[in-house]
Amino acid sequence: MSSNKINAVFYAESYHPIQAGSIDGTDILPHDNAVYRAHLCSSAGLYDPFGDPKVIGDPYCTIFVGRLSHLTTEDTLRKAMSVYGRVRNLRLVRHIVTGASRGYAFVEYETEREMQRAYKDAHHSIIDDCEIIVDYNRQRLMPGWIPRRLGGGLGGKKESGQLRFGGREKPFRAPLRPIPFDDLKRLGIPPPPEGRYMSRFQDPSPPRRKRSSVDWEEGSHTRDGQEHSHNRSSADSKERYHSRSSLEREESSKKWSSLDREEHYGKRTSMERDDSSYSWSTSRREEHHHKSTDRTRKRSSEGKDERSSHKRHKHRNPSYRHERRSSSRDQPSDY
């Protein structure tokens, strides 16, 4: 036995009366009459865990609440346990003759997750000034279970002289002596679970629901359907995104093309106006130049005609030449 397992503990997975009466789960003989009676009931099969007609509901959603005050009522217990989830059914066990509370109850929740929460958080809580204990429904979930009224059970107080180990409140201790594997095998007692020890401050997990092949198929079909719907939705979203992006690209291209057309049209119009104004000014200048050239040519031709007509007149009129000469002789010299 290693030193790091001296203070470790382990919990019973199946119930055996002789092992439940041992502090470390290694006893091979009953040490009191209650253990002997529980062993006889277990060997003869005198106890039927499903024979109680009052036991109803889903065992995987049900918790056992013990050490309740005898003054605690159903309403008080329901109000206290509703803090951890939605309570579907509650049964406070009472005496069959007097009707007084026996100090324990069974609470069924709507879901297994709510049951797990109450199993973890409600343990050692206070209801009506009493510290309660919470455990899972061992009557229907623990193989070989024998109740306390038949000498079995788990727990108990020291002054009662009937201690039972292996449960949540009093787990088995790590064995300090060699484990008699041959004797345990001969008596049908499961040996202590080597290598699966825990700290007593850790919460042992209650048994979980075993899923059948039909459930697995339904779950796989559900997962396949969810994956298919997820893939389909993702494909649809991608398609919508691509279509929207394509529409946005088309609209942007249309906008840009219209803007480009307007800009190009404006540029072209301004260029055409510039070209037309330039061509118009050029034509005006050319027309003005031609007109001025024509006028100059006309003036020059008219001057030539006048000079030629004057010359012809001088040559043809001899009196003109005589007058010019006489006028030149009559004029004084100092003039």
pLDDT in tens, 148-181: 989 999 988 877 778 999 999 999 999 888 889 9
pTM over 0.75, yes/no: no
Within 8 A by CB and 6+ apart from 35, the residues are: 17, 18, 20, 21, 151
Query: What residue ranges define each of the domains in the chain, with the CATH number in brackets?
Result: 1-47+145-205 (no CATH), 56-142 (3.30.70.330)
Partners of 134 in the beta sheet?
A: 65
Q: What's residue 325's pLDDT?
A: 47
Instruction: 142-147: list long-range contacts, CB under 8 Å, 24+ apart.
Output: 142/12, 142/13, 142/14, 142/15, 142/207, 143/14, 143/15, 144/14, 144/15, 144/16, 144/42, 145/15, 145/47, 145/49, 146/15, 146/17, 146/38, 146/41, 146/42, 146/47, 147/47
Q: Assess contact for 63 and 91: CB atoms under 8 A.
A: no
pLDDT in tens, 28-65: 999 889 999 999 999 898 999 888 888 889 999 999 99
> Count of alpha carbons within 13 Å of 122, Cβ hemisphere only?
28
pLDDT by residue, tens only, the chain of 335 residues: 555 677 899 999 999 999 999 999 999 999 889 999 999 999 898 999 888 888 889 999 999 999 999 999 999 999 999 999 999 999 999 999 999 999 999 999 999 999 999 999 999 999 999 999 999 999 999 999 999 989 999 988 877 778 999 999 999 999 888 889 999 999 889 898 877 788 888 889 898 887 765 555 555 555 555 555 555 555 555 566 555 555 566 665 555 455 555 555 555 555 555 555 555 455 555 665 566 666 666 666 665 555 555 555 444 454 544 444 444 444 444 43
| Interhelix angle 213-316/318-330, nearest 10 degrees | 80
Which position has the token pair 């398609």? Answer: 239
Q: What's residue 334's pLDDT?
A: 41
Q: What's residue 156's pLDDT?
A: 85
Closest CA to 151 of 27, 25, 42: 42
Q: What's residue 281's pLDDT?
A: 52
